[in-house]
Structure 1
Amino acid sequence: MNSVYIDLAIGLVLAFLMFSLLLSGVNEGLVRLLGIRSKFLWAYLRDTLDGHKGRKSIPSTIAEVFASLPFRRDERPAFSAQPPPVRSSATSWTGLLYERLREIDHGKDGRTSIASIPPGRFAMAMMEIVTGEGGVPAMLAKLEQSGSPLYRPLKGAWDTAHGDLDAFRKAVEEWFDGEMSRLTMLYRRYVRWVIAALGLVLTLVFSMDALEYGRAILTDNAIRAQVATTADGGARSLPSLRDKCPEHPADPYGCVTEVLSAPAFVQMVSHAPVSVRIPEGGSPQWSWKGGDWLHRLISPGHWPGFLITFFALLFGAPFWWDILRRLTGIRVRAGETSGK
Structure 2
Amino acid sequence: MIALLSLYADLAVGLVMLFLLMSLLVSGLNEAFVRLLSIRSKFLWAYLRDTMDGSDEQGKSWLPAKVRDVFAALPFQRDPRPEFSDQPAPSDAAPAPTAAEEAPAPMTERLYERVQEIDHPRTGRTSIANIPPERFAVAVVEMAAAEPEGVEGLLGKLQELKSPLHGHLKGVWEGAQRDMDRFRQGVEIWFDAEMQRLSMLYKRYVKWVVAVLGLLITLIFSLDGVEFAKSVLRDNGYRAAVAAAASGGPEVVEQLKVKCTQPGESSDLAGCITETLSSPALIQALGNAVVSVSVPAEGDPSVQWNGGAWWDRLTTWTHWPGFLLTYVALLFGAPFWWDILRRITGFKRS
TM interval, shorter chain, is over 0.9
How far apart, CA to CA, are the structure 2 residues paired with 1:311 and 1:267? 21
- Quote the residue 1:161 is aligned against: 176
What's 1:263 paired with?
280
Match of 1:22 in 2: 25
Give the letter for the 1:18 counterpart. Answer: L
SS in structure 1 at match of 2:257: helix
Match of 1:215 among 210, 230, 235: 230
Q: Root-mean-square deviation (CA), in Å?
A: 1.6
Q: Which deviates more, 30-39 or 229-238? A: 229-238
1:13-66 C-alpha deviation (Å, 9 max, x unpaired): 111111111111111111111100000000000111111041110011111111
The normalised TM-score by structure 2 is: 0.91
Matched residue, 1:282: 299
Deviates further, 29-38 or 251-260: 251-260
Q: Distance in 1 between matches of 2:29 and 2:13?
A: 24
Cα distance in structure 2, aligned partners of 1:208 and 1:293: 10
- SS of the aligned residue for 1:275 comes to strand
- CA, structure 1 residues 109+22, in 2 after alignment: closer, same or farther (shift >3 Å)? farther
2:288 partner SS: coil
Q: Which residue of 1 aligns with 2:342?
A: 325
Q: 1:98: which partner in 2?
A: 112
Q: Superposed, which structure 2 residues align to 1:116-195 within 5 Å? A: 116-134=130-148, 135-195=150-210
Partner in structure 1 of residue 46 of structure 2: 43
Q: Which runs of 5+ in 2 are unaligned?
A: 98-103
Shift of 1:236: 4.8
1:2 and 2:5 equivalent? yes
CA distance in 2, matches of 1:108, 1:272: 38
Instruction: Give 1:287 deviation, angstroms.
Output: 1.4
* 1:79 has 2:84 as partner: yes
Conservation of the 8 A alpha-carbon contact between 1:242 and 1:249: no
Query: Between the two proteins, what is the percent identity of the paired residues?
Result: 54
**1:279 alignment partner, SS class:** coil
Partner of residue 227 from structure 1, selected from 214, 239, 242: 242
Equivalence for 2:127: 113
- Please, which moves more after superposition, 118-127 or 315-324? 315-324
Alignment deviations for residues 155-186 of structure 1 (CA, whole Å, 9 cap, x no partner): 11111112111111111111111111111110
Name the structure 2 match of 1:338: none
Q: Which segments of structure 1 move beyond 6 Å, counting only runs of 4 or more?
A: none
AA paired with 1:59?
P
Q: Cα distance 1:161–1:234, how it changes in 2: closer, same or farther (>3 A)?
A: closer
Give the Cα separation in 1 of the matches to 2:299 and 2:123: 42
Task: Give me the whole-angstrom Cα distance separating, in 2, the residues matched to 1:153 and 1:172.
Answer: 9
* CA shift digits 1:112-137 (9 cap, x unpaired): 11101111110000000000022011
Q: Which range moves more in the overlay, 282-291 or 98-107?
A: 282-291
State the Cα distance separating 1:281 from its structure 2 match.
Answer: 3.5
